[in-house]
Amino acid sequence: MLTADEATRLLDLARDAQARGDALLHLQLDVSLLEGQTSSWGSSANAVSSSDTVGSFLSEVEGLGWRLEHTGYAFAETGATSSPRALSNTTGTVTRGQVVGYFTFRRVG
């Protein structure tokens, strides 16, 4: 997820690219997480948490002289756990991962 330190690092990259005169800026950041816990019954319990600061961060990048041109998202699985369900022949699976946002900006002016 977008921490203050990560936002500062990415904003520094945007400033450096602006100073070099780059025409495009491409940033990627985690925008949400899928977390799960196994249970003794073998069922799965997944929870999604997302960042409320991505929009304001993108606005800060635009304030530096960049215009958002394209956005893409991908789910990156970081792990999964399966266990047999009690009183059943099936299994429960818990998946963990993150949704990564890819943001391409074009230099203004």
What number of helices (H) and strands (E) belong to the chain?
2, 4
Rounded to two decimals, the pTM is 0.80
Compute how many other C-beta atoms are within 10 angstroms of the C-beta atom of residue 101.
19
21/108 Cα distance (integer angstroms): 11
Q: What's the length of the chain?
A: 109
What residue ranges do the domains of the chain occupy?
Answer: 4-107
77/97 Cα distance (integer angstroms): 4
3-state secondary structure of 73: strand
Task: Kindly give the confidence (pLDDT) of every residue in the chain, 109 residues in length, as a single tens digit, with 9 standing for 90 and above.
Answer: 889 999 999 999 999 999 999 999 999 999 999 887 666 665 566 788 888 899 999 999 999 999 999 999 999 999 887 777 666 777 777 888 999 999 999 999 8
Contact 2, 57 (CB under 8 A): yes
